[in-house]
Structure 1
Amino acid sequence: MSEYVVNPLYWILSLQALLLVGLIAVILRQSRLLRHLEEERQWNASGFDRVQELQRSQEKAVSGELAAAAADHSKALELLQRRLLVQVARLYQSLERRFGEMQKHIADDSGNLRVNLAERLDGLHQILEKSLGESRVAQQEGMLRGMEGIGRQLLAGLESNAKEVGARLENLAESTDNRLREISGQVEKRLNEGFDRTNETFTRVLEHLTRIDEAQRRITELSNNVVSLQEVLSDKRSRGAFGEVQLNSLVRNIMPESSFSLQHTLSNGNRADCVLFLPEPTGNIVVDAKFPLENYRRMTDVDAGEVERERAAGRFRSDIRRHIAAIAERYIIASETADGAMMFIPAESVFAEIHAHHPELVEEAWQRRVWLASPTTMMAILTTARAALKDAATREQIDLIQQHLNFLARDFGRFQERMERLSQHIRQANRDVEEAQLSARKISARFDRIERVELEGLPLPGEER
């Protein structure tokens, strides 16, 4: 087979070498001719035409030789190709023949080997069946029965544990859900109650603001339609009624109904025009509206003489001093009223006169804890009192909210404790499940070892133990 491969290559290389040598010879010959022509051209410039003709003739000759050499080369290549095809076909037939022979030998050898192996395996199987059938059948049956019993017991234990854990988890989940629903319902109920109270308070505030606006509108109308103070206060009974009506209008328009009482009778038997029920530490404040205005009218009467007006001014001071003493004596009661009372002056001009020209009266009233108030200052005092009442109600609501928040915090603490206990039970159940899975894996591994009986230690036929 090596001869068939080497000879074609040798011929190809030889032919190529010959062609290469021929081409080199032709090129050398042409180069010599060209040099010769160049020398002749240099030597004889007049023979240039003859040199060109000679060069063309030489080129034609060289071209003819090259064409002949190329034709010879192509013929040689075709011949070599046919020879190579013949050699390759012969080589392929030889390889197919040898491959068939080798395949036949391999099939024969494999059949013989299969027969020998089958015979040896049958013998070994018979020996193993005989030895195992006599010595290990009873042992294997006993082990299998024992392992089956153990497996059934373990499976029963695992099932019972799983059922118990599942029941515990269901009970814990149910109790937790019930408690959460209960807490959620309580929280929602308390929040709704708080919202309702807030809405009610806001509604009451709006109502009070509406009343204040209405009172201001009425006061404006009264100020536009009021007649002269002297005409209105010409009669003593009218003077008292005027102060009470004005005070009642202010109190009703600003204060809530439950925070005051008109014509209230005290424990000493005296009847107050108005009592304001304010939160501690202020307490109940008595307001008197029977201000003595008769001498003030005479003091300001332009038709009266100077002496008469001076006498009226003195009597006016005396009336106010006596009225201050009467209020302090009648309307300041320990443990029942506040430590002071209010004297309502129904005219801003009178209030300004007292503060401007009679500061000793203001000082005396302050010492006896009698507070002077005009309609404007009374409105400010009542507005402040209403704010104090609102603040007290808010504090009560805050205390109630704080109490509910304390209850909620306590319930949440209990919930947290129960959640911790639940998490502990869940972790314990998880550990029990992991241990049960570990036991199941060990049992499965032992069953696998029993099923895979190790036979490596058994001797083959003909071998010594």
Structure 2
Amino acid sequence: MAVSDYILIGLLGLALVGILMLARKMAALSGKLEGAEAQNQLMQIEAGLRYMNEQAGEREKAIREEFRGNREELTKAITQLGETVRKLGADQSTQQQQFRDKLDEKMKELRQENSQKLDEMRKTVDEKLQTTLEKRLSESFKTVSERLEQVHKGLGEMQTLATGVGDLKRVLTNVKSRGTFGEVQLELLIQDVLTPNQYVANYDCGRKGTHVEFGIRMPGADAEIYLPVDAKFPTEDYERLLAAVEAGDTDGIATTQKLLANRVKGFAKDIATKYINPPYTTPSAILFLPTEGLYAEMLRIPGFVESLQREFNVTVTGPTNFQVLLTTFRMGFQQMAMQEHAQEVWKVLGAVKGEFEKYGEQIAAMGKNVKAMENHIDKLETRKNQMLRALKSVEQVEDGTAQNLLPDDTD
């Protein structure tokens, strides 16, 4: 049953209850009323009850009709609502299916696009990696080849150097060859700094049969005076000292150092005796040691070099400080050349001064002549003006007539 049926049954029940209550009240009143008045009252009451019953029937009928119409409208509305819900469900399902299809299609396209881009990126990365790898490998192989070539070249140079060292060792085992080595190095240093006219090789010191290896001309002297320079190389004593130093033998170092100092001292004495011979030479000489290590060992002995200079007037030098000494000589020669050029310049300036005085005299004479010429020109200008004033009343003829009357004799 519908809700409207329950409501209708309830209303009918209420109406019956009301009728029963009225009937009970009428029965109660009928017992109290008497006579015609009571009969009239009952008839009125019955008429009212009938009217009420009719009204109730009509109302019930109207209510039933209204409830039936409402029930039909509600049923129709519910049916329409169901159909609408079904349509909405179907539409929503269709839209969801369409959305799902579009989403699947977009996802498929996105996957394909991503896959394509990933393939392109992978291809690009592979190409770049391949190119970079090939470039790096080429550079690495090139570098390795260059290094191997350098190593091979270095090995060849080392072999050549080893051969040269062996040859040098064989040369240095001979006393004459050691002297030649020192002399060659001394000659190279002198040739690098001085010009050929500033030194003499195998210089004659003025004693019979005594020739020093090199004589360096002293700059600034009135007469030519040469500084004797001789190279010495005590190889055996120096090698013994190096061996003792390498072995850490303190006593051996002291002994070999003393022997080396005595040998160098003997060289200095020999140079002083043979080669120092004023006025052919300077009062002092140079003892050249061809290695810096040997010269450093001499400097390591306290006061040894100074004692040789005081006792024999012989200065001990190594390659570096001897080159500095040669540079000093060269600067002296350059200063002398500058002084000579300065004297020549002064002479030229004196000659120019005389010529300039003569030039001044010529300019003065020319000025006088120019002044006389200006005076003469002024006089001619005055005469011209006088002539023009005298001819002021004469009429001027045309150019062609003037040319006929006064022909140009220059032609």
Q: If the length of structure 1 is used for normalisation, what is the TM-score?
A: 0.42
Larger Rg: 2
